[in-house]
Structure 1
């Protein structure tokens, strides 16, 4: 698809788009970003990677990592029976009127932070201040110019407007309805860089891919194996934040050549088994006009590339290494939960 000029009209939301972005490339109202590249032909090519019929679960248990040291706002899920506390619907007899039946039933509910464990980020997760009007007035917007307070609605705006809060546009349900199934390509960053924290830039990534014979094509879902979730699982639900902060590889979101490669590669999504895919906090620049999460800014805000975090890639990586492979069929739909800005996911790799 040819890249359009930076200044153009796209419906009513914007007349100016970020440099190097894909805004408008898939239509003025697009909410799928580069997931649009996963066409039926690309799905068939992904299915063709299956030769053994063996599957691998790529999700952590959703109560891991445990605690809230990775993000103080995100806590483990709370699983409870439905019904009142004095009469929970768990190992309960099914009764009606004066009769009880032979059925014994359980029914439960969960309170969950949607981005606590293995997850997808939607494009409503991270936006930026940007001058979409071209009049020198930066305003908070998201991918394809969707507006904070209008399209992505917080509790205050919802109360003022008398509407429900949430992502009225760019919610995670769009990816679920489209289906996230395509060819996954795995790059092993644990073997070359070990378990100490290492910022992976363009040169590092290219050397690792070349050494492993990895090639990436349009619409592929790039998966980065660092070993981080193995460190987490070894902590038994009581993670040590100081240890995790210095463990395993993470992408250097300040590396301009790396960001340009992500743009040029036309991958449809980017996944890692670490927290946030990129190093956080990112290196500070001299300028104040900078994103604190530069890779999130580049992928979610500018390109429309979903990010997957905290995936369990260890078993798959070991199998692919033994088989001399790096490609597989990846099936990873998020929850079809309207208005959500992220979602837990139980991805399945089929080899």
Structure 2
């Protein structure tokens, strides 16, 4: 049963919706994003990936130590080389965009369809990567919480952290924006060390502000901040708020450029490959100033 105290957008945009909070990115929001481009400076928010050849060593793409991309080389003609690649979409070393079907609640996928009818052996039939195959363009805002160094192990990021960063940076998160958060930690887990993460209080703040898309170097804490409750960012943000997530974003370069320019808002473009029916897909988000 749904907790009425948790942010929830199921039914808000109708029974057939697949966009979730991306509905908040209107033409006016995209125009506002375009107005952020003044200098032409730009930076990628994607982690670089070096593929592993399939023919070397044990094949374990789901592990943190293995590359998220496994590559097999072939030769299709005289002087012509080609690749066959196997991609692990939800990998801690791959910047990827989570579709709404990635998370289910009580056996249902947003906005209330039975999971067994949506996530099938033949692919995902609703709320998949098909929904954002045309790409995403919106205004992005970086809230850098690691200005004085990485957050403490196990720190729960709250709405107060966000609002203090807004005041410090002279920026405001508005409806339809993409929120980019820097905690100062690598995306891969630290065995034996609790990592910081987004709290439910912070997710409620995103709901109130109308955040359309989240990206960060870290998301949910490991181990969970509340082992008995839902994971704040994936279980509530993605699962109940229907807010797509960019996991494992590379934000250090963005933070450096924002500090250099004295600006923490920009146009964010996200152009995933137009592969339909997946629960997630690698992306290369780009911030343009």
What's the TM-score, normalizing by structure 1?
A: 0.72
Question: 1:182-224 deviations in whole A, cap 9, x for unaligned?
Answer: 1010011111453542321222222222222221100000001
User: What is the CA distance between 1:63 and its match in structure 2?
Assistant: 3.8
Establish whether residue 141 from structure 1 lines up as the match of residue 108 from structure 2. Answer: yes
Q: How many matched pairs?
A: 277
- 316-325 or 207-216, which moves further after superposition? 207-216
- Cα distance change on mapping 1:74 and 1:148 into 2, 3 Å: farther
Separation (CA, whole Å) in 1 of partners of 2:232 and 2:258: 31
User: What is the CA distance between 1:319 and its match in structure 2?
Assistant: 1.2
Work out which of the residue numbers 172, 182, 188 in structure 1 matches 2:138: 182
Q: Please provide the CA RMSD for this pair.
A: 2.7
Where 2:141 maps in the other structure, the secondary structure is strand
**Runs of 5+ consecutive residues of structure 1 not aligned to the other structure:** 1-15, 83-87, 94-103, 130-139, 156-163, 233-238
Establish whether residue 305 from structure 1 lines up as the match of residue 243 from structure 2. Answer: yes
Question: 1:284-329 deviations in whole A, cap 9, x for unaligned?
Answer: 36xx6x32x2321211121111111111111221111121100001
Separation (CA, whole Å) in 1 of partners of 2:272 and 2:103: 17
Aligned to 1:320: 258
Aligned to 2:54: none
Separation (CA, whole Å) in 1 of partners of 2:161 and 2:151: 15
Separation (CA, whole Å) in 2 of partners of 1:313 and 1:125: 23
Separation (CA, whole Å) in 1 of partners of 2:23 and 2:240: 15
Counterparts of 1:52-91 in structure 2, within 5 Å, are 52-63=39-50, 72=63, 75-76=66-67, 77-82=69-74, 88-89=75-76
Where 1:41 maps in the other structure, the secondary structure is helix
Separation (CA, whole Å) in 1 of partners of 2:105 and 2:49: 29
Contact kept in structure 2, 1:218 and 1:267, CA below 8 Å:
yes
**Runs of 5+ consecutive residues of structure 2 not aligned to the other structure:** 52-57
Separation (CA, whole Å) in 2 of partners of 1:260 and 1:183: 20
Aligned to 1:136: none
User: What is the CA distance between 1:283 and its match in structure 2?
Assistant: 2.8
